[in-house]
Copies of this chain bind each other. A is one copy, B any other.
Amino acid sequence: MNKQQLIDNIFQKKSFLCVGLDTDIKKIPQHLLKEEDPILAFNKAIIDATAPYCVAYKPNLAFYESLGVKGWIAFEETIKYLKSNYPDHFIIADAKRGDIGNTSAMYARSFFGELDIDSLTVAPYMGEDSVSPFLTYEGKWVILLALTSNKGSHDFQLTSDTEGERLFEKVLRVSQNWGNDENMMYVVGATQGKMFEDIRKVAPKHFLLVPGIGAQGGSLEEVCKYGMTKECGLLVNSSRAIIYADNTEKFAEVAAAEAKKVQEQMAAELAKL
């Protein structure tokens, strides 16, 4: 999916919500455990229920890998289900990969080549040759970690260099030599508040993937205030607050209601543009 298509989807649906499919076998409703593939059954129900209110889905690979082979099957089947039934939804494999060139190329082949996923989150620590193999696929996106939502983001990402540039700013600046706003986005945590202003100084046009509203406590209003662009420029993710809003047989219905609430707030924010 290219940038204009993503923007069109956002304004048409009045939503920039990404639903995080952090599906944990220990947290899904009990009655699903009798299904042949409970994870897939849960994902299908969540997807069908929330699709009208979101523009993207983000399965986090950790949750699938933790189940080994069964988890990988559930992941691949979820991707196939999305691509067949909801081809206009942007898919993010939240994998935070990044390795030496020939290894990153293997990951790219897997996620972009074989699974045909739109985008992948990538960690920047290993530099250009760990990221660039992902940038050679037409219509595919790297979503590079910049300033994450967790407490540990303060350990290294905020370190200032001798020029006064902080590490996350250096990542934003330097990586713009590798790709552009048509094939790169950045991860910026919703918990970072006013820091979005600093992000926008370095990356005024890039889309930002914003985790951390909901369970992690970030504010949608603040994210929009400091991070939104004329093209929206945001994909805001919510995982636990939507998918685990209820764990009875009504879980999908309740998830839809939660997604709708967020979508309505987003519609109000988009209306301000």
A-side residues, CB < 8 A to B, are 22, 24, 60, 62-63, 65-69, 72-73, 76, 94, 96-101, 103-104, 106-107, 109-110, 114-115, 123-131, 145, 148-157, 159-162, 164, 167, 170-171, 174, 211, 216
A212, closest chain B residue (CB): B100
In the complex the two chains form, is A128's CB within 8 Å of B114's CB? Answer: no
Cross-interface CB contact of A62 among B103, B149, B211, cutoff 8 Å = B103
- Which residues on B sit within 8 Å (CB–CB) of A68? 72, 76, 110, 114-115
A132, closest chain B residue (CB): B152
In the complex the two chains form, is B66's CB within 8 Å of A69's CB? Answer: no
In the complex the two chains form, is A151's CB within 8 Å of B129's CB? Answer: yes
In the complex the two chains form, is A152's CB within 8 Å of B127's CB? Answer: yes
A181 to B24 Cα, complex, angstroms: 33
10 additional A-B residue pairs with CB within 8 Å, beyond A125-B157, A162-B162? A60-B99, A66-B106, A68-B76, A69-B72, A69-B76, A127-B151, A129-B150, A156-B170, A159-B170, A160-B161
In the complex the two chains form, is A152's CB within 8 Å of B170's CB? Answer: no
- Which residues on B sit within 8 Å (CB–CB) of A67? 110
In the complex the two chains form, is A152's CB within 8 Å of B129's CB? Answer: yes
In the complex the two chains form, is A154's CB within 8 Å of B167's CB? Answer: no
In the complex the two chains form, is B156's CB within 8 Å of A124's CB? Answer: yes
A24, closest chain B residue (CB): B106
In the complex the two chains form, is A62's CB within 8 Å of B106's CB? Answer: yes
A109 to B66 Cα, complex, angstroms: 7
Cross-interface CB contact of A160 among B114, B129, B154, B162, cutoff 8 Å = B162
- Which residues on B sit within 8 Å (CB–CB) of A107? 62, 65-66
Given the interface contacts A72-B69, A156-B171, does A98 sit within 8 Å of B123 by beta carbon?
yes
In the complex the two chains form, is A125's CB within 8 Å of B128's CB? Answer: no
- Which residues on B sit within 8 Å (CB–CB) of A167? 156, 159, 167
Cross-interface CB contact of A159 among B103, B151, B161, cutoff 8 Å = B161
A131, closest chain B residue (CB): B152
